[in-house]
């Protein structure tokens, strides 16, 4: 009797230690929930032992990353060691030339890793298209989850040390804690070292308000991702984008609007859960999404969408290119370059470059509009109501056109969907489509209602959940998990931004 129990226990331990590419450890999985509860218990026991607590979190973070990317967690360790040493070399350099050399080395190392794992086959494809098929052979390269996020985060540390806005850390494990911290290592937010590092060794303090807000953010994130995003993706959006020629123009348009909601709920849901989990551990992350589809200008959209990436591109790329300090046309060019490279950051494909170019051109046109049209406003909240509505319609549809480029597997899909929308809209079948997909459209309406909810109501709801008793919060968590289990129609879906 004891032998089978021992074998079963050993098998379970081996399963927990084994990396399975088909079952990554992610926030919306039951395994993570159980493991986080166990982790939190140990975290609380070590709340007064700073060094042990830091090592404990590092160990769990590396395990968490290993369960998502396997042996490639060593890349995270390599980046941490390299940039920790380079930051000290920058700080101790006697000349500006040496400092530039060291920070350049950091950028080359980090972007070199990103280029190899993310863009090797893209460069091979371009070379083959220029020289001829078969000139170079495609490589079987695994893309480690989150590599785009942690290399940007690590580069920001060495660049800030080079700029003199941050002193290098004296403890390597503090830096490894920052770079590997599991709530945000896979898909952000991209937290700046200067914002995070001062809090690592502060006394652990999780107030009742922090705990309550953390729980409410996790609940909202679960609803966005596991209920709304996954359901409309599996039951509608994916079908449209797979075979757009089989659907009417109305269905194709709804597929684009559905994807706009899907990617928002997916990515902001992850960010909500990451911020909520960090709050439960005593760390405050900045907001990463601020109802971006409320924007009435493209500039406003990029101040509300993926805020940590937008700020990173602005501070470390756009400003480094010269920003708006070198004249009007150079400013427009800098915006275009920044957004094209931002598009390329999202993926190694022409469609991502076109997506970035679309936003770069839109930002440049909006900046030109501000300069030549008296009284025009950069942010929609400053417009009069009529102009705000018109601006919102234009901005939302420009963003959705971008999402079409972003989601379609190739340009043929883009062409087919646009053709259907403009040549085969078929308005007479709209009632039948809505009836056939009434649950999907119900979730789409629910998702957009949540998104456009007045900020005050949203804050009041978070406050009420946060001030509820512990057992009410547990009951709400159980209810959300039950809803997820009832609606889930397949295996747990990874977050969209894991591929970036």
For residue 95, the surrounding DSSP H or E stretch is: none
Closest CA to 186 of 85, 68, 74, 97: 68
Residue 324 and residue 384 in contact, taking contact as beta carbons nearer than 8 Å:
no
Residues 296, 378: Cα–Cα separation, whole Å: 9
Has 423 been annotated as catalytic?
no
Rounded Cα gap, residues 232 and 235, in angstroms: 5
Residue whose entry in the numeric block shows the structure tokens 């396997």: 70
132: left (phi over 0), alpha (psi -120 to 50) or beta: left
Catalytic residue among 18, 199, 346, 423: 346
Of the candidates 150, 104, 170, the residue with the CA atom closest to the CA atom of residue 500: 150
Of 309, 88, 284, 286, the closest CA to residue 200 belongs to 284
d(Cα 275, Cα 184) in Å, to the nearest integer?
8
Long-range contacts of 306-312 (CB under 8 A, 24+ apart): 306/188, 306/267, 307/189, 308/188, 308/189, 308/190, 308/191, 309/152, 309/188, 309/190, 309/342, 309/345, 312/152, 312/156, 312/190
Q: Where do we find the tokens 């209920």?
A: 227
Angle, CA of 303, 304 and 307, to the nearest 5°: 75
- Do 149 and 188 touch, CB atoms closer than 8 A? yes
Token pair belonging to 407: 């989601």
Rounded Cα distance, 298 and 379, in Å: 9
Q: What are phi and psi of 488, to 5 degrees?
A: -55, 125
Other Cβ atoms closer than 10 A to 13 = 10
Helix (H) or strand (E) holding 476: helix 470-487
- Catalytic residue annotation: 346
């Amino acid at each position: 009797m004891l032998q089978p129990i021992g074998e079963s226990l050993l098998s379970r331990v081996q399963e927990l230690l084994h990396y399975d590419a088909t079952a990554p450890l992610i926030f919306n999985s039951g395994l993570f929930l159980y493991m986080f509860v166990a982790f939190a218990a140990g975290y609380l026991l070590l709340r007064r032992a700073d060094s042990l607590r830091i090592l404990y979190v590092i160990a769990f973070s590396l395990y968490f990353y290993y369960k998502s990317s396997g042996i490639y967690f060593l890349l995270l360790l390599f980046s941490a060691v390299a940039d920790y040493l380079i930051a000290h070399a920058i700080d101790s350099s006697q000349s500006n030339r040496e400092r530039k050399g060291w920070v350049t080395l950091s950028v080359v190392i980090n972007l070199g890793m990103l280029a190899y794992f993310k863009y090797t086959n893209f460069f091979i494809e371009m070379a083959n298209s220029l020289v001829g098929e078969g000139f170079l052979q495609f490589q079987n390269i695994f893309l480690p989850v989150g590599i785009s996020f942690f290399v940007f985060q690590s580069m920001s540390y060495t660049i800030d040390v080079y700029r003199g806005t941050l002193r290098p850390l004296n403890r390597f494990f503090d830096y490894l804690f920052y770079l590997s911290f599991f709530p945000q290592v896979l898909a952000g937010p991209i937290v700046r070292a200067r914002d995070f590092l001062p809090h690592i060794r502060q006394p652990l303090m999780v107030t009742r308000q922090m705990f309550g807000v953390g729980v409410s953010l996790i609940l909202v994130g679960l609803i966005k991702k596991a209920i709304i995003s996954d359901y409309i993706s599996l039951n509608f959006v994916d079908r449209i984008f797979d075979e757009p020629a089989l659907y009417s123009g109305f269905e194709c348009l709804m597929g684009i609007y559905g994807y706009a909601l899907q990617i928002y709920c997916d990515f902001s849901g992850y960010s909500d859960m990451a911020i909520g989990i960090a709050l439960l551990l005593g760390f405050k992350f900045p907001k990463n999404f601020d109802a971006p589809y409320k924007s009435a200008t493209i500039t406003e959209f990029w101040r509300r969408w993926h805020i940590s990436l937008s700020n990173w591109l602005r501070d470390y790329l756009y400003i480094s290119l010269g920003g708006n300090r070198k004249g009007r046309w150079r400013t427009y060019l800098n915006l275009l370059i920044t957004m094209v490279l931002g598009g390329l950051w999202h993926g190694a494909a022409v469609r991502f470059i076109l997506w970035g170019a679309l936003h770069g051109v839109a930002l440049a046109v909006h900046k030109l509009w501000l300069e030549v049209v008296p009284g025009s406003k950069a942010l929609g909240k400053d417009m009069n109501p009529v102009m705000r509505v018109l601006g919102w319609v234009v901005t939302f549809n420009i963003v959705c056109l971008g999402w079409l480029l972003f989601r379609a597997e190739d340009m043929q899909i883009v062409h087919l969907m646009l053709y259907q929308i403009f040549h085969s809209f078929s308005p007479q079948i709209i009632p039948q489509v809505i009836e056939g997909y009434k649950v999907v459209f119900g979730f789409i309406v629910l998702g957009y209602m949540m998104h456009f909810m007045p900020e005050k109501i949203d804050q009041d709801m978070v406050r009420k959940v946060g001030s509820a008793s512990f057992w009410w919060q547990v009951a709400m968590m159980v209810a959300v998990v039950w809803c997820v289990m009832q609606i889930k129609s397949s295996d747990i879906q990874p977050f969209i931004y894991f591929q970036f």
